[in-house]
Amino acid sequence: MIKVGLTGGIACGKSFVGEALARCGCLLIQADELGHAVVAPGGEAFAGVIAEFGVDLLVDGKIDRRQLAARVFGDPGALARLNALVHPPVIAREEKLMAAFAAAQPKGIAVVEGAILIETGSYKRFDRLIIVACTIKQQIERSMRRDRITEREVRARLDRQMPLEEKRKLADFVIDTSGTKEDTLRQTCAVYHELRRIEI
């Protein structure tokens, strides 16, 4: 089985590309969804996050993720503590899902979609790395529309992530989503066929 990391910048279209790869037959694992699961009540990181950041984060028994994000925003130490609680169980879940997929489809392709695979060093776990990229102007416009936030807020998020140009240097494949959806799908299909040819 081939393990593939899928990452890129904010609002570059990672999910769109991931879903297209899933339709091709790849196993798609979305790290963001697993992150939500591990901080949900009963999740592996739930108690640790409450102990670290306070019981006042709870709304109706659940962690208010928006409030948690605001608390760690702009505080590298707090963000590092949060990541230390969340990332290990997320990675454990990813590995469990990939192991099950490998047993069922030894020649399959497992794709893990995550926003900060490179920043955390997690990308080193994969056989190949796909970077999804578009222009900064598009990132700002798409993020403002999708997340209903201001340009200033988007730029603050961009400042916290590694620049796309740096990420590109580590990529085995770059999918440019600055054009039409059809063009993005064409590139994604081409990458899928390249992955199919790889012998691991």
Question: Looking at the 3D structure of the chain, how many domains does it have?
Answer: 2
CA distance 141 to 82: 28
CA distance 95 to 123: 13
Given 49, 81, 106, the domain boundary residue is 106
Helix axis angle, 46-53 to 65-72, nearest 10°: 50
Indicate if 47 and 86 belong to the same structural domain: yes
Residue 162: closest CA among 5, 3, 7, 4: 7
- 109 in Cβ contact with 2 (< 8 Å): yes
Rounded to an integer, what is the distance from CA 133 to the centroid of its chain?
Answer: 13
Indicate if 84 and 9 belong to the same structural domain: no
DSSP bridge pairs for 132 = 8, 175
Indicate if 88 and 150 belong to the same structural domain: no
DSSP 162: P
**Domain that residue 200 falls in:** 1-26+108-200
DSSP 75: -
Indicate if 124 and 168 belong to the same structural domain: yes
What pLDDT digit, counting tens, does each position of 26-54 carry? 999 999 999 999 999 999 999 999 999 99
Question: pTM for the whole thing?
Answer: 0.92
What pLDDT digit, counting tens, does each position of 139-195 carry? 999 999 998 889 998 898 888 788 999 999 999 999 999 999 999 999 999 999 999
Run of H or E including 130 = strand 128-133
CATH of the domain at 71: 3.40.50.300
